[in-house]
Amino acid sequence: MVTRINLFRTGSDNLRSKRPDDPALVFLGTGGADCTPRVGCLCEICTEARQKKGRYSRNGPSVFFTGVNVLFDTPEDIAHSLERENIHHVSHLLYSHWHPDHTMGRRVLEQLNLNLRKRTKTITDVWLPSWVRDDFRKMLGLEDHFQFFEKMGIVRIHEFGEGEEIRLGNATVKAFRMTQPGLASYLVQQDAKRVVLALDEIKDWNPGSELMEPDVLVLETGWFEHDEQGEQIIPTGHWIRQSEAS
């Protein structure tokens, strides 16, 4: 599995940067709501992932931009993903939406920013589109938890509107609503390179003109209709068909 895309190289050379300071898009996890291997699952795929590890094993959904140190989403296993990629500082954190598979690893901010032994702190700026923050105020105690982090002095919370440009180091970021409630897609621009992120629930999504023809497009895969034996995976009429793309 490719874990890094160098944003300023072309062809086969873009998969792994030759210089550690080259800006790159890092795929910290591509496993979706259920990671691979899945606890309790003894299927061939999960068994193979346990044995071979590496690219066969996939963590929860998250991406990271090196250079500007920008993280998108904090799934439950985000600490392990950051450790795997030797990432030990997050300057900025943004969220695609409130769902637990994208937010429940948020306590990683304590590990990153708080050192009780040395009595030192660093701060991560948390940027929330207004409609995402509306859900944070209602779901999973997210707003309360981030307010607690802010009182601890390890985060600063910022709210911004749809299409509003924010500058993060030498990159700019804009957020746009998606069709499914509460979802945000992102346009990240860095040195004339345009990256569009739509990290979940792209069903019925109709991106606007500003998001068209990016240099890099990151989309959720959606779910698969059939398994290797041809059997239907998601039953007809299941609720997930109302919001998730296949």
Catalogue all structural domains in the chain, each as residue range(s) with its CATH number: 4-190 (3.60.15.10)
Q: Around Cβ 122, how many Cβ atoms within 10 Å?
A: 14
Q: How many CA atoms lie within 13 A of 107 on its CB side?
A: 5
Q: Examine the pLDDT at 18 and tell me if it is beyond 60.
A: no
- Indicate the average pLDDT of the chain: 89
Residue whose C-alpha is closest to residue 22's, from 34, 40, 36, 10: 10
Residue 5's pLDDT is 84
Confidence at 21, pLDDT banded by 50, 70, 90: low
Q: Are 179 and 90 in contact (CB under 8 A)?
A: no
Q: Around Cβ 183, how many Cβ atoms within 10 Å?
A: 25
- φ and ψ at 227, to 5 degrees? -85, -175
Structure tokens at 227: 């398994």
Q: How many CA atoms lie within 13 A of 115 on its CB side?
A: 9
3-state helix, strand, coil in the chain (%, to 5): 25, 25, 50
The pTM assigned to this predicted structure is 0.88
Q: Examine the pLDDT at 20 and tell me if it is beyond 60.
A: no
> What are 36-66's pLDDT values in tens digits?
899 999 988 899 999 998 888 889 899 999 9
Q: Examine the pLDDT at 171 and tell me if it is beyond 70.
A: yes
